[in-house]
A and B are shown apart, each in its own frame.
Chain A
Amino acid sequence: GAGVSQSPSNKVTEKGKDVELRCDPISGHTALYWYRQSLGQGLEFLIYFQGNSAPDKSGLPSDRFSAERTGGSVSTLTIQRTQQEDSAVYLCASSHQLGQYYEQYFGPGTRLTVT
């Protein structure tokens, strides 16, 4: 079956612009996660969604970052007023349900470059 897909694969934007990154999870997966992979910070958790519950936003680095998940499926990560330190690979993952019992399947990521 289809895996987790992300778009775009690569995004170059100018400092100060807003960007939207999209994630399509595996069909039927109720939990969705965003992670960021950068040279300076390694791989870090950003946010997760589980069904209709309130998302855990504890990993978002600033209020310029937000995410939503519409209809319990597709998720969009939005970065406003991008800064150079936002340059990173943004990875999305989904799992059947939330928690350690369920394997997280990752997408190929979106490489964001802020110039």
Chain B
Amino acid sequence: AQTVTQSQPEMSVQEAETVTLSCTYDTSENNYYLFWYKQPPSRQMILVIRQEAYKQQNATENRFSVNFQKAAKSFSLKISDSQLGDTAMYFCAFMPTYNQGGKLIFGQGTELSVKP
């Protein structure tokens, strides 16, 4: 079975600092996608960043970047220059290959608080 593990239930960071959220996953597949989603108190899940497993280069989106270690099955999210609006629950997610459709498998989430 494919699983996603986020070992940090809660984290906090000072505004303008950098924070890294951890994620590991387990799969026997070679091709897949990985995602980080943000869920603010409004409950609306928002895609932050995604990584294709076949790409060695780590994805970046402005202040957000990932460290993708395929052999270690690790996919961490780094948030630089943290802002108060980054306060949210962050979910790491795995999507199996096309034959299994587009269902996302989520980790348990990390609640991030950005403090002024």
Q: A100–B102 contact, CB under 8 A?
A: yes
Q: Are A45 and B103 touching (Cβ within 8 A)?
A: yes
Cβ-defined contact, A99 with B91, below 8 A: no
12 A-B pairs whose Cβ atoms sit less than 8 Å apart in the complex = A33-B104, A48-B101, A56-B101, A56-B103, A59-B103, A91-B43, A93-B45, A95-B102, A99-B102, A100-B95, A100-B102, A108-B44
Q: Which residues of A, 87-106, contact B by the 8 Å Cβ criterion?
A: 89, 91, 93, 95, 98-100, 102-104, 106
List chain B residues, Cβ under 8 A from A82: none
Cβ of B25: which chain A residues have Cβ within 8 Å of it? Answer: none
Once the chains bind, are B45 and A42 in contact (CB under 8 Å)? no
- Asked if A44 CB lies within 8 Å of chain B CBs, one says yes
A101-115 contact mask (Cβ, 8 Å, vs B): 1 or 0: 011101111010000
The answer to whether the Cβ of A31 comes within 8 Å of any Cβ in the partner chain is: yes
15 new A-B contacts, CB < 8 A, other than A100-B33, A102-B102, A104-B104, are A33-B102, A42-B106, A42-B109, A45-B105, A48-B102, A56-B101, A56-B103, A91-B43, A95-B102, A98-B101, A100-B97, A106-B46, A108-B44, A109-B43, A109-B44
The answer to whether A108 touches B42, judged by C-beta atoms less than 8 angstroms apart, is yes
CA–CA, A35 and B97, complex, Å: 19
Q: Is A50 an interface residue (CB 8 A)?
A: yes
Of residues 59 to 116 in B, which have CB atoms within 8 Å of A's CB atoms?
A: 91, 95-98, 101-109
Q: Are A104 and B102 in contact (CB under 8 A)?
A: yes
How many A residues are at the interface, by size bracket? Answer: 20 to 34
The answer, yes or no, to whether B16 is at the interface (CB within 8 Å) is: no
Partner of B91 from A43, A56, A107 at Cβ < 8 Å: A43
Q: Tell which of A89, A95, A98 touches B43, judged by Cβ atoms closer than 8 Å.
A: A89
Q: How far is the CB of B13 from chain A (nearest CB, A)?
A: 23
Q: Which 3 pairs across A and B sit closest by C-beta, in order of nearness?
A: A106-B45, A43-B106, A100-B33
Contacts of A107 in B (CB 8 A): 44
- Residue from the list B33, B44, B95, B102 in contact with A106, Cβ < 8 A: B44
**CB neighbors of A among B20-66 (8 A):** 32-33, 42-47, 50
Contacts of A100 in B (CB 8 A): 32-33, 95-98, 102
